[in-house]
A = this chain, B = another copy of it.
Amino acid sequence: MTTLKDVANAVGVSVATVSYVLTGRGSVSKETSLKVMAAVKKLGYRPNRTAQAMRTGFTQSIGLLLPDLTNPFFPQLAQKIENAARQRDFSVLLVDCQSNPDTEAEAFNLLKQQGVDGIIWCPSSDIAPDSIHSVGCPVVLIDRPISGFDSVYSDYYKGGQLLGEYALSMGHTQVGLLSGPKHIEGARKRRQGFIDSVTGPDKNLTIVWDLEVPFSTELSPESLQRLNEKDVTLIVAADDLIAVGAISALNEIGQRVPEDVSVTGFDNIPWSTVVTPKLTTINQAISAMGGQAVDILAEKISEPDMPIRTVLLDVELVERHSVKRVKA
């Protein structure tokens, strides 16, 4: 590794001077400045980030704390975040807590110890572990907001509404809900948005059943049983994973989608276009979510007194082939 001293010696000047031309802070003549630049380039000098961190307190790295990379919602997000961060000259330290609350709590201590300048966090539940309070750096939440923190997430309520309106418009009257975990606000909002938009004096839609299931393709025995009863024409799943799980289960018991039952998802993960039939679902602006998250985090790192912001991302219905119109 070539150091500041190496280039200083090469030019015949002090390390301070070299540092000043590199940071652009001191006062140095055009002439020596050029000589320094030349030496830097010639020697391939790059400042040692560790030493910089030691002195400045900033590591130029951020933590990315996710519940589970194998949930296909996250890789896109992670990729976008990593790229956006890198463009701002930040590295990203990845922690996948596998949805384990203890690991998640410990992750904050770990990231603090590594000296990250900030953290982008997608919580696995609605409550924040104590360890977050001593972390001493900005934290911005993605996808799952918690009050008191900067957050960027999609308009789940609207997504639910969109689905409700669509269900109505396609003439469905008997629907089943595969709602997500109650301890996740986003899941509650989707459900509420749907319910609010399909209930009312002029609406003719009844929610035949409403089950709480995890965000996973593995369905509970209870929901499997419900699927068997053939009492609904539309199943509204809380996310695409649940939706594809439902489609599989339906196929296994000889029900065709959408001919016999329709299914909707939420998220628009890549899977939704490879299953048969292609999933009608709600698209989240994942790219924007990642970009906004690092924007806000970067801003808060350089300006810690910024007020707390929450940015709400618009969603839209993407109509594919998993919902059939029913006749009256």
Residues of A within 8 A of B (CB): 1, 44, 46-51, 53-54, 59, 61, 64, 68-70, 72, 74-76, 78-79, 82-83, 86, 91-96, 98, 109-110, 112-115, 134, 136, 217, 244, 248, 251, 270-271, 274-276
Contact = CB atoms under 8 A, between A and B. Distances in A.
B95 A94 contact: no
Contacts of A82: 69, 94-96
18 contacts: A44-B134, A46-B113, A48-B113, A50-B50, A51-B54, A61-B93, A64-B94, A69-B78, A70-B76, A72-B75, A74-B75, A75-B75, A78-B96, A83-B98, A86-B110, A91-B93, A94-B94, A274-B275
Contact of A114 (B44, B49, B76, B98): B49
Contacts of A271: 271, 274
A317 to B, nearest CB: 22
Nearest to A109: B46
Count copies of this chain in the complex.
2
Given A274-B244, A274-B271, A275-B276, A78 B59 contact: no
Given A54-B50, A115-B48, A93 B92 contact: yes
A143 to B, nearest CB: 16
A114 B91 contact: yes
A98 B115 contact: no
Nearest to A111: B91
A249 to B, nearest CB: 12
Given A50-B54, A94-B82, A96-B78, A72 B69 contact: no
A92 B91 contact: no
Contacts of A69: 75-76, 78-79, 82
A223 B115 CA distance: 50
Nearest to A217: B274
Contacts of A54: 50-51, 54
A154 to B, nearest CB: 19
A49 B115 contact: yes
A269 to B, nearest CB: 10
A245 to B, nearest CB: 9
Given A50-B59, A70-B76, A86-B110, 20 more contacts: A1-B136, A46-B112, A49-B113, A49-B115, A50-B54, A61-B93, A61-B114, A69-B76, A69-B79, A70-B79, A72-B270, A74-B75, A75-B75, A83-B98, A91-B110, A244-B274, A248-B274, A251-B276, A274-B274, A276-B276
A92 B70 CA distance: 17
B50 A79 contact: no
Nearest to A89: B110
A233 to B, nearest CB: 21
A1 B72 CA distance: 37
Contacts of A275: 274-276
Contacts of A248: 274
Residue of A53, A92, A248, A271 with most partner-chain B CB within 10 A:
A53
